[in-house]
Structure 1
Amino acid sequence: MRKQPARTGEREWDVNLDGARVLVAGATGVLGGALTTELAGRGAHPALAGRDPARLARAATAHPGAPTLLFDAYDPASCARAVHGAVAGLGGLDAVVTAFGTVAFGRATEVGDEVAEYLTAVNVLAPAAFFRAALGIMSPGSVIVAFTGVVAERPQPGMADYSASKAALSAWLGAARREARASGIRVLEVRPGHLDTGFADRAVAGTAPAMPPGGDPHQVVGAVADAMEADAELLRTTPDGTPVIERRAR
């Protein structure tokens, strides 16, 4: 990932995705697939990681030559192996993105302990496993990127355990960010509102409540790529779905 020539008033961490080696975990999903296409369109060299071999093979047809890696979000060791596999396949890593997760709906008294444990494993421990492995090998100027969501800051009724898992990941990122700054590695949190990806229809438990129309995921992934190329730490969306990039996370 090449640094762009610094212009007056710009930070030296501004980078160029052209030539960047990027691992996208969750590349078989709607959001991860759209982001992979966006990054490749900017000249990045992606490695694709996913859980389902057939879906991973289909995703790879759009990116000939890209390494493909299997992982199970319920198995942190497989997440670390995917990072090392991407390093081997790409000759290094400049960015790691986690664009996967799971959701459950129901009142706090109704969602069982097993579902709550599963949400924590997939939404917190698995991304942390990817980043823990990556932070140990990435060079200054690299970036890690994680999707959390607006529920990380505004927990919603009927989504207590899901909200808690995303808030926990956000807290983990905040602490890791402070540690990584000393090494010149940036941590970018993507905290969008509801997006039109069908994610809510694939809940592991419960039924999604009535929701307003979701935002455009393609608009968000374009903004994610912009944020990766800038010295940004947070991307959020306004109530009308407009992406907002912030240099420093709140």
Structure 2
Amino acid sequence: MTDLEGAVVLVVGATGGLGSRIAAGLEVGGAVVARSSRTGGDDLRVPGTIRRVLDATLAEHGRLDGLVIASGVVAFGAASEISADTVDELFAVNVTSAIQLIASSQPHLADSARAGREPFVLTLSGVVAESPVAGLAAYSASKAALGAFVVAAAREYRRAGIRIVDARPGHTGTALSEHPIAGSAPGFGAALDPDFVAGRIITAIVDGEKDLPSAAFHS
């Protein structure tokens, strides 16, 4: 079990459809939430931004007990037609920034563990990390890369008392697919309720779960 009462959690992508709901749910559980988003001026691809966001969180709250990475971009289109610029942005946002943020937060989360708390990192690679989708080949690849990093990093971070959880929900009814960086969204069929998905993620954080595969989001 992870006690959220008083825990300081940084939520990146906090204005997004899932990020905003996860942040709100953490606060309901008693956490102190620091919010970061590109719309709020924090573009993690810009050198120095990750350090600035972490430093600001520590300066205001004195510690870091949890990190939720809910930021991301999506692109649609045939694998043969995806541009190099689109691939670069997908990996910069969905993979590189997330990896750098997880790495940069490690010393602070390790401090939290040494203080007797139960620090965690929550990532959102999504169902495409398990089952890549035609028409989303590059996006699927970026999320699979994040998922692979998390699997390996979780084994290392566990030694420092830090739990890393990757959530892989199916298509969720947020506005992400309405604002792709390339292409246009195909017909996905029925979407998962974002309130349900966010609630399931909060439950996993509190209950100490170590993985959230797509099957965990079947209501």
**TM-score surpassing 0.5?**
yes
| Percent of paired sites with the same residue | 37
- How far, CA to CA, are the matches of 2:129 and 2:214 in structure 1? 13
Q: Is residue 126–residue 214 contact of structure 2 (8 Å, CA) maintained in 1?
A: no
Aligned to 2:52: 81
How far residue 35 of structure 1 moved from its aligned partner, in angstroms, is 0.8
2:122 is the alignment partner of 1:151:
no
- 8 Å contact kept, 1:146–1:189: yes
Alpha-carbon distance change, 76 to 144 in structure 1, aligned in 2, over 3 angstroms:
farther
| Higher RCO structure, 1 or 2 (CA under 8 Å, sep 6+) | 2
Matches within 5 A, 1:153-172: 153-172=130-149
Q: Which has the higher strand share?
A: 1
Q: Does 1:242 align with 2:213?
A: no
- SS of 1:145's equivalent in the other structure is strand
Report if the CA contact (8 A) 1:177-1:186 is conserved. Answer: yes
Matches within 5 A, 1:26-175: 26-53=13-40, 70-75=41-46, 77-138=48-109, 139-140=112-113, 141-175=118-152
Q: CA shift at 1:202, angstroms?
A: 0.7
Deviation per residue, 1:123-162 (Å, 9 max, x gap): 0011112111111221222101111100001000011100
Verify the 8 A CA contact 2:14 2:70 in the aligned structure 1: yes
AA aligned to 1:193 is: G
Aligned amino acid, residue 218 of structure 2: T
**TM-fit CA distance, 1:76:** 5.1
CA RMSD of aligned residues (A): 1.4
Question: Which runs of 5 or more structure 2 residues have no equivalent in the other structure?
Answer: none
Q: Within 2, Cα distance between the matches of 1:129 and 1:227? A: 24
Alpha-carbon distance change, 234 to 130 in structure 1, aligned in 2, over 3 angstroms: same
CA contact (8 A) 1:76 1:129 kept: no
1:226 aligned partner: 203
Aligned match of 2:11 in 20, 24, 40?
24
1:104–1:161 Cα contact (<8 Å) kept: yes
* 1:85-108 residue CA offsets vs partner (Å, 9 max, x unmatched): 111111101101011100001111
Q: Which runs of 5+ in 1 are unaligned?
A: 1-13, 54-69, 244-250
TM-score, normalised with respect to structure 2: 0.93
| Higher-helix-fraction structure | 2
**Per the alignment, in what secondary structure is the counterpart of residue 136 of structure 1?**
helix
